[in-house]
Structure 1
Amino acid sequence: MALTQITHLSEDEEMQECIDNCFEAAQACEWCADECLDEGEEMARCIRLCRDVADLTTMHARFMARNSGYHADLAETCADACEACAEECAQFDHEHCQVCADVVQRCAESCRSMASA
């Protein structure tokens, strides 16, 4: 079965975009958290937020894919976590933090839109 056959996703471009943004954010956060392990103790908050966002965004994407009635509630939490992570990562000059900040900010905007849908 092709993913385009999942009716609620093929008819809702905004939801599909949010799923894509969530998976991209999870990847960026996993990369950033791993890279931050070598940067010292001052990166602890960044690592924790990245790990939280990686888990939340993958869960949110899964909830949207199965058209869960709870995905809008999770979208709000996901957006909040992404915004906190973006703010934290943006404070550091490391490439992985800057990339992560950009990606999770885009995800936050997408999730915020899903929360109000």
Structure 2
Amino acid sequence: MALEQLEHADEHMQECIDNCLEAAQVCEWCADACAGEGEEMARCIRLCRDVADLTTLHARFMARNSGYHRDLASICADVCEACAEECEQHDHDHCQACAEILPKCVESCREMAEG
């Protein structure tokens, strides 16, 4: 069954799932690439790893229609926002990709949190 076929997932939830999974992918790439950039990238790495873990968990909660997905959406949006702000400060391509992609995830997670 494709995610588009989830009976409980409306357009906004599906968009949020897609945005969360995209955020996880770009943040995994960024964290890995930052590991080779030196100690000054430690905060970026930590935030990217937090985003990757939270967004995949949030996508899983939405896919199974967990009663807690809205609570997790708020936390997910906050961490994505912090990560985007951190990544904006770095000129690396992977950081700039995060800074570009994460705001979509912030927006859709805030929509999910508001219900």
In structure 2, relative to structure 1, the CA distance for the partners of 1:67 and 1:34 (3 Å cut) is same
TM-score (norm 2): 0.96
The one-letter code sitting in structure 1 at the alignment partner of 2:5 is Q
Q: Kindly provide the amino acid, as one letter, of the partner of residue 5 in structure 1.
A: Q
Residues 10-89 of structure 1: pairs in structure 2 closer than 5 A:
12-89=10-87
Per the TM alignment, residue 2 of structure 1 is displaced from its structure 2 partner at its CA by 4.1
Is contact 2:74-2:109 (8 Å) kept? Answer: yes
**Which residue is 1:8 aligned to?**
8
Deviations along 1:3-30, one digit per CA (max 9) or x if unpaired, are 4432112xx0000000000000000000
Code of the residue aligned with 1:29 in structure 2: it is C
Gaps of 5+ in 2: none
Structure 1 unmatched runs, 5+? none
What TM-score do the two structures reach when normalised by structure 1?
A: 0.95
Contact 2:3 2:63 in 1 (8 A): no
**In structure 2, C-alpha distance between the alignment counterparts of 1:68 and 1:8, rounded to whole Å:** 11
Two-structure CA RMSD over aligned residues (Å): 0.9
CA contact (8 A) 2:35 2:41 kept: yes
SS in 1 for 2:52: helix
Identity %: 76
Instruction: Describe the shift of the 1:41–1:23 C-alpha distance in structure 2 as closer, same or farther (beyond 3 A).
Output: same
Q: Which residue in 2 is equivalent to 1:109?
A: 107
